[in-house]
Every structure is written in structure tokens, then in C-alpha cells.
Amino acid sequence: MVHAGILPQWTIARAELLASETEAELRGKKYKKFFSKMYGNKPAEWSDELTGYDRLRMIVNVLTRMRALTLKNELDYDYKSTLKKMPTNLRPWFKAPNRQNLSHTIVFGHWSSLGFMNTDNILSLDTGALWGGELTAINLADHSITQVPSLGGLDWKTALK
């Protein structure tokens, strides 16, 4: 289970190892510095040679922000629409060739315009509850899906007051 996705060239074990790198930073004494360096759109392409905050930022961006990739597997940080509207120079992260993480079903969200999808070892659960869609959940024991209506697409800032 991941918020946004896993790069096609990462195995599940590699993704877990990389996530633990960021977890160590979050738990460390320099967590405030990590937060100050975490935000940004660069780098957009993974390399095992990345180091420091560029490496950590890329890991965080993949796991929490990724939707579309360029044909060279670079993150496209702007695309948020449906698969039908996706330009030909982009593809969803889970449709990249030679995916190294097909050994498990990847459960993710973060892409409400994608909606519910259960195919090709991916399970997309973001069905846009925030925007008036449904809230979707999976029971991991029996794989049953439950959907409930949202509260009408409330302005989340107002709802939290």
C-alpha cells in the first residue's frame, strides 16, 4: 500500500528500503531540515546515484505525488486528469513497460480523476470523496470493496473548522 505509486523500475523490496531512508530522516534529529528541503519538483528522474536531499525528495515525490510519467520515466508533476485525456507523451506510472513490481498488487490513491481501478496488479481507491464522489475502501482479509457517498464535496478547509 502506498499513497501515490511506485516507480516501474523499483521492486517492492527496493521501494520499502527507499521508504525507510525517508522514515529515518523523519525520525532523526534533523527532521525540521528535512521538511524544509522536502518540497520541490526536482529531480524528476530517479537515479541510484542521487544523494542527500535530492534523493530523499525524489523518494517522497514518487511515493506521495506521482501520477504520470514521461516516456523516459521522469515524473510529470502537473498531470491530474483522466487516462482518456492523457497526452501521448505521458503514461500512468503503472502502465510503464518492464515494471519490476508486478509481484504484488499495489494499493494506492492520490489520483481521484482516475477513480476506482482494479487491474494489472494495481488497485486504485481514490474515488474523489473530497470532490463529492465516494469514499472507497478495501477489506484486505477478503478483498471486498466498500463505497460510501461523500458528504457532498464539502470545502475541506471549512469542514475542518
Reported as a single tens digit per residue, the pLDDT across 22-41 is 999 999 999 999 999 999 99
pTM of the model: 0.91
pLDDT per position as a tens digit, 86-114: 999 999 999 999 999 999 999 999 999 99
Q: Are 133 and 154 in contact (CB under 8 A)?
A: no
Question: Which residues pair with residue 90 across a beta bridge?
Answer: 70
Rounded to whole angstroms, the maximal C-alpha distance in the chain is: 46
Per-residue confidence band for 2, with pLDDT thresholds at 50, 70 and 90: very high
pLDDT of residue 131: 86
Cis link prior to 8 (omega < 30° from 0)? no
List domains and CATH numbers for the chain: 12-126 (3.60.21.10)
